[in-house]
Amino acid sequence: MNNIKLMLIVILSISITACFPSNNSPKSEILLQGRTMGTTYNIKVVATPEQVTNLKLQQKIDGVLKQVNQEMSTYIPNSEISRFNKSSSSENFEVSAGFARVLKESIRLGELSEGKLDITVGPLVNLWGFGPEQRPEKAPNEELLAATLTRIGLKNLHLDGQQLSKDIPSLYIDLSTIAKGYGVDIVAELIEANGITNYLVEIGGEMRLKGFKHTGELWAIAIEKPILDPSGEERAVHQIVIPKDNAVATSGDYRNYFEADGHRFSHIIDPATGKPIDHNLVSVTVIDPSSMTADGLSTTLMVMGTEKGMAFAIKNNIAALFISKTEHGFSEQFTVKFKQYLK
């Protein structure tokens, strides 16, 4: 799956005092790691090694993540999403329950944001070189851009239960703005279904946390300073948050971009213009019970920009942190709902 959002959050071991009787517990933090969706996953569960082994937890996690890829990866030719994208039929296409769940939330957020989140923007993502197709050496011309814009639009996509259809034969779905968050959610749900209630799940920077560390401390997350460094080698902490039993997702344009004709082009596309966003907002972090929702909202707010994004977040009671680039460095704004999570 396209690694559109690189890891924008790092995990820190920070002591946050909490009342949790774990001092005499034989449980510890078990780290499970692997690769999925073109990126990595890091999962910490508070359990005994025997419990994790007996549950075959890592095998189960790898199994559900493999299923997500098979449903929603545009990089797998025979995935559900690839087969739908290749089809030129307007007839109903039956999708799996997981795929339908992500589509339903994507459409809801698209309608809520008046099209700022548009999962049919795939042809534009490919046109600008951020999808499976090869990156262009220069920006596309206006004629090609206008032609591509006629091939997108959430209004041309219809979901009825698990039946999906499209009005335009070439309509193409790209779920890279929300699928990793969904992957985090189903892994968290799997862990809880196996009786573990203290955990941290991270896939490519998107997270969901619950309960406490084995020491009795709350999980603490460091939000990365948005430094322009495509290599990802230069990292610094901007802000620390205590999300409690929530998910955290960050979207930014400072890692995934390309330069052509002396201009920097972000991977985040504005569906209204068909072009990469071009404003001073460089990072948005959203905290929400669902990683899938937080993932989609962080991209939505990035597309909107600081002023419109802040107004939208306040109106819809979203916990959001906005980091903008200024002449003197970075400035931040956050909603009242986000303030409760600041350390």
Could you give the count of Cα atoms lying within 13 Å of 325 in the half-sphere of its Cβ? 13
For position 122, what pLDDT does the model report?
A: 84
For position 334, what pLDDT does the model report?
A: 96
For position 228, what pLDDT does the model report?
A: 55
What is the residue extent of each domain of the chain? 70-166
User: pTM of this prediction?
Assistant: 0.86
Per CATH, which fold does 70-166 belong to?
T-fold (1.10.3980)
Q: Does residue 240 contact residue 221 with C-beta atoms inside 8 Å?
A: yes
d(CA 121, CA 66): 24
Q: Does residue 217 contact residue 65 with C-beta atoms inside 8 Å?
A: no
pLDDT digits (tens, 9 = 90+) for 17-69: 334 444 444 789 999 999 999 899 999 999 999 999 999 999 999 999 999 99
Sheet strand arrangement including 157-160? 93-94, 163-166, 157-160
Q: Does residue 100 contact residue 159 with C-beta atoms inside 8 Å?
A: yes
For position 223, what pLDDT does the model report?
A: 86
Low-confidence ranges of the chain (pLDDT < 70): 1-25, 131-138, 227-236, 253-266
Main-chain phi, psi angles of 64, to 5 degrees: -70, -35
For position 135, what pLDDT does the model report?
A: 57
pLDDT digits (tens, 9 = 90+) for 185-197: 999 999 999 999 9
